[in-house]
Amino acid sequence: MRYPSSVFRHKAHLSFVISGLTLAVLLGLSACSDKTAEQQNPAELAAQAKLAAEQQAALKQSAELDERAVRQANRQRDAAIVMHGQASSAKLRTMSAENRAYMAQPAASISAAPALNRDWPGAVPPVRNRFEKQVQNGIMVAGEIPVSTFAIDVDTGSYTTLRRMLKEGRLPQKDTLRVEEMLNYFSYDYPLPGKNEAPFSVTTELAPSPYSDDMMLLRIGLKGYEQSKAELGASNLVFLLDVSGSMASPDKLPLLQTALKMLTQQLNAQDKVSIVVYAGAAGVVLDGAAGNDTQTLNYALEQLSAGGSTNGAQGIQLAYQLAQKHFVEGGINRVILATDGDFNVGTTNLDELIDLVSSQKQQGIGLTTLGFGMGDYNDQLMEQLADKGNGQYAYIDSINEARKVLVEQLSATLLTIAKEVKVQVEFNPALVAEYRLIGYENRALAREDFNNDKVDAGEIGAGHTVTALYELRYVDAGNLANDKLRYGYNPKTGNEKYSRDEIAYLKLRYQLPDEAQSQLLSYPIRADQRVKSLAQASDDFRFAAAVAGLGQLLNQSHYLHQFDYNKLSALTRSALGEDTSGYRHEFMQLVDTAAALAQTQRAPIKKSFDAGDKPFPPEDKPHQQ
């Protein structure tokens, strides 16, 4: 369903609307706790001291770094209070009555946040970065399990977290990359859907696999219809922002502030923006400000400072309350969560958070997650919350990535054009002996889930592209991974019931955003659409294969029999195409970096030697004539 199109004109409000009370909320969240030890129960202090000693021993260095960061943030906060106190009072006197209406008032529950996580009663010590391991999809026998079913995915966080690691000289842990998120980071030249057709087009392509000499590679691509920001209709956006102490570094809160300024520059008078911040407690900074009030939005974002521990669960509840308050019928209603880590104070139960997000999705309020920085980063939580909230998970590692997600792809980030999108492929056992889905491990669905409209699946936004790859082996290829069955249907001697023209049958189900019943699309994939060599395949096909190849190499997949970094480099360079944005050339550099890092890890670090009394390293010896 396409929302009605309209063009809005931007109008600038010249008056500032940040009150002294709101400034206190903004800066008070970063303040250290003034509660003294004498005010606390001695028994509680003893228990906390014992627990802290046990839990913090292994994290001593990290805690020291956190302390230095918080001290620096507090110095900046104190300077900000001096600089902005009088200015805020002057702006308060010039506020109009209209602007006062949407200014936030301090919540009764807001209190000063503690300086460090360990100072907050009930705080859970950080577990450092968390990336969930994926169990690779295996090779399936088409004669036994001919049907493969999965939900689509438009997240991109796995690629950008990988990019950051490689630029820092680190390789990811085995099996932690979600290959589909690497594939879907890039745009491909899929055709736009026709007018009055489904909200997305479907493309298939078949060519020899670069990973194994005797296998084929099938590409399935979806492309959503495009929508400009002017055509989106009114937006009700709630920014849920982490201002805990760990956000003080330049790649976190400062980058977040700049990113959201870029987003708000594209809004107009019909849009509403609310801001909720959370650290030791959560509070409202803006309550339904006009989208074209650039000065107010920028000023509110500029006043944010970092301090305290992270009570994200309380912030989510408050954010959803504001989203409900300003709900726009027929428009976009979305919470945008931006954080660098985990929820370590308050409700931390993942199931409870997911239930909250899912219930709000049913009421028309989506959730998009934006990740920043590293240290205590929970990639799994960010991905799962976005999946359950009809939203996208993106990791912002640079200002260029912020521009890509929040400017270039803003319509895709905000507007869902089809929900609960599922893919099902039935392979023809007469032609296909085995197949393997590359990626989408945590998006797998049972066969019967395809026709069950109550089963949660994936969403696609305006202009989004989605790509999936299957590696498959024909019946007559030989070198099968599985032995042939002794009993069962023999396609050569038995009663032929399979088509000899089709290798597979592709089906998709989707729901329009305001509907609960799915619609079905189906497409035969013909054997004669294959090309004879990989070089004859499109640039997009070869590039997608290269991206999936890097993901599989870094995941240390045991299904890449004739594929290595040299072949990956050659494949990448053959498929760069026009690349006007430079993303493919950047990927080529990442391939070279990954190859170099992988080579250094293969080199032995320890060396066996019998030093005896000889010094190591050996001393210089005079040259013998």
Q: What is the mean pLDDT of residues 511-536?
A: 94
Assign 284 to helix, strand or coil: strand
The per-residue pLDDT for 224 is: 96
Report the alpha-carbon distance of residue 158 to residue 584 in Å, rounded: 16
Report the alpha-carbon distance of residue 583 to residue 303 in Å, rounded: 33
The region, left, alpha or beta by phi > 0 then psi within -120 to 50, assigned to residue 118 is alpha
Report the alpha-carbon distance of residue 68 to residue 245 in Å, rounded: 10
Q: Which helix (H) or strand (E) holds 140?
A: strand 140-141
pLDDT band of residue 58 (cuts 50, 70, 90) is very low
pLDDT band of residue 483 (cuts 50, 70, 90) is confident
How many Cα atoms are found within 13 Å in the side-chain-facing hemisphere of 252?
Answer: 23
Of the two residues 168 and 96, the one the predictor is more confident about is 168
Report the alpha-carbon distance of residue 415 to residue 238 in Å, rounded: 15
- Say if residues 245 and 308 touch (Cβ distance below 8 Å): yes
- Say if residues 136 and 130 touch (Cβ distance below 8 Å): no
The per-residue pLDDT for 422 is: 98
At residue 495, does pLDDT exceed 60?
A: no
The per-residue pLDDT for 535 is: 96
CA angle 32, 35, 37 (to 5 degrees): 120
Q: What is the mean pLDDT of residues 236-261?
A: 93
For the four alpha carbons of 314, 319, 325 and 330, in that order, the dihedral sign comes to negative
Report the alpha-carbon distance of residue 324 to residue 334 in Å, rounded: 10
pLDDT tens digit string along 284-324? 999 999 999 999 999 999 999 888 666 667 788 899 999 99
Q: What is the mean pLDDT of residues 148-165?
A: 96
CB atoms within 10 A of CB 365: 23
The strand pairing partners of 427, in sequence order, are 504
pLDDT tens digit string along 542-585? 999 999 999 999 999 999 988 999 999 999 999 999 999 999 99
pLDDT band of residue 103 (cuts 50, 70, 90) is low
What is the Cα gyration radius of the chain? 27
Which tokens is 237 given? 């956006």
Report the alpha-carbon distance of residue 275 to residue 504 in Å, rounded: 49
In this predicted structure, which of 17-31, 308-322, 484-498 has the lowest mean pLDDT?
17-31
Of the two residues 6 and 531, the one the predictor is more confident about is 531
Which tokens is 108 given? 């009764």
pLDDT tens digit string along 356-368? 899 999 999 999 9
Report the alpha-carbon distance of residue 467 to residue 552 in Å, rounded: 16
CB atoms within 10 A of CB 165: 23
429: amino acid identity, one letter = P
Report the alpha-carbon distance of residue 199 to residue 536 in Å, rounded: 30
